[in-house]
Amino acid sequence: MSSFRRVLSVPEFRVLFLAEVLSILALVAVQITLSVLIFERTGSPLLSALAFALGFLPHLVGASLLSSVADRFPARRVMVLAQLLSGAVMACMAVPGTPVPVMLVLLVVSGTVAPVYSGARSAALADVLDRGGFPLGRSLMRMAAQTAQIAGFSFGGVLMLATSPTVALLVAASLMAGSALLVGLGTRARPGREVAGGLVGSSLGGVREAFRLPRLRSVFLLSWVPASLFVWSEALAAPLAAGMGGGPMVVAMLLTAGPVGTVVGELLAGALLTAGQRRRWMLPLACFTFVPSLLFVSDPGPVLAVAALAVGALGYGYTLALDALLLEATPEKMRGRVFSLGSAGLMITQGLGFALAGAVAEFVPPHLVVALAGAGGLAAVAVFGRRFGRRGEAREGVARLLRL
């Protein structure tokens, strides 16, 4: 763990890490509270589901039209203002009697700001950590997000049981304000980058420029497409469990297997492999992520299914090498915009992955849908990893793993 300890020894990183945990707890608590509150008021499953969906869909708007904010202004100022705005939105939701449409509009505002904050935070990480520490720092942030999301659902549930929705939303707003305070007091002021043109024009220009860079485009695709297939088993946890004859406990185990395996995989990749080794193992690990999913062809029972998902997720350590490639491929003057686009693209493609998994499962048994996702993931790594493979490393990695 020496590499992770080195990153955690940087005071500014510890501040950003803790601020991220607080903000995730706040966001998850808001999603749960609003989902329950809206369903109680309207009785509509659709509107209740929108309390989750609208937290993610506006990422595309924020990344496309506002991402240059993350470059144009000092990162600390952008992060503090974004968190304060999110906290203010949550406080407005807490006003008793706020109409449901207003709550949904406020969620759109929060989701639009989120990629700007993510871009500024990742750009700040690149300033706070050296090139070797950046992928480890991003990995720790992801692990914090996975862990905080799991804890956040319990936290939000306890808030709903112990308090009123108004108090729960005010607690979430306070957590977001605390996140802003940590960033404001615990990080250094650094100047913004020179960005030509207006806010919207430079943001859209940054998106176009990012996709014009072949290496950067390949990093995005290798990040987004496999991740959109990786979530298919989570999207189908309930029907999978039903097909196995299991109840809520099996659903919970299927949902947590991936996140737990992901955290362990990233820990192992960061602690046991050097930067060079992570780069050499990137494509084989990416392939390994999907190989256990092929076992779902045989309609496995709960134990084998959970084990397969957890073991496959260990391969997610490949993302550390991908983060290093992202930093290498990103022009310094565009870091905020590129990182905003990267985080927004990941959110959007995973959301589409959830929807597509459900659509396919309307016609194909859920266990076969998961197997299809495994085959599709292997194909995606082979196709989008070609630029980074040595002498066909991606295709050889797929073939070698399939022979196991």
Whether 201 maps to a domain, the answer reads no
CB 334 within 8 A of CB 71: yes
Select from 253, 239, 317 the least CA-distant residue to 285: 317
Q: What is the pLDDT of residue 392?
A: 46
Residues 6+ away with beta carbon under 8 Å from 71: 119, 123, 192, 193, 195, 202, 206, 333, 334, 335, 336, 337
Whether 200 maps to a domain, the answer reads no
| Domain match, 71 and 120 both | yes
| Domain match, 81 and 224 both | no
Q: What is the pLDDT of residue 404?
A: 47
- Which position has the token pair 């939303």? 169
| Domain match, 49 and 177 both | yes
| Domain match, 151 and 219 both | no
| Domain match, 35 and 176 both | yes
Token digits of residue 164:
């009123």
Distance of CA 299 to the CA centre of its chain: 29
Q: What is the pLDDT of residue 261?
A: 92
Q: What is the CATH number of the domain that holds 62?
A: 1.20.1250.20
Q: How many degrees, rounded to 5, is the angle at CA 371 between CA 385 and CA 266?
A: 50
Q: What is the pLDDT of residue 222?
A: 94
Low-confidence ranges of the chain (pLDDT < 50): 1, 391-394, 396-398, 400-402, 404
Q: What is the pLDDT of residue 246?
A: 79
3-state SS of 164-193 is CHHHHHHHHHHHHHHHHHHHHHHCCCCCCC
| Domain match, 283 and 336 both | yes
| Domain match, 55 and 169 both | yes
Q: What is the pLDDT of residue 394?
A: 46
Domain of 221 in residue numbering reads as 207-404
Whether 195 maps to a domain, the answer reads no
- Which position has the token pair 């750009």? 123
Whether 160 maps to a domain, the answer reads yes
What are the tens digits of pLDDT across the range 71-109? 888 999 999 999 999 999 999 998 988 888 888 888 888
CA 370 – CA 72 distance, rounded (Å) = 43
Residues 6+ away with beta carbon under 8 Å from 184: 76, 80
**Structural domains of the chain, count:** 2
Q: What is the pLDDT of residue 185?
A: 95
Q: What is the pTM of this model?
A: 0.81
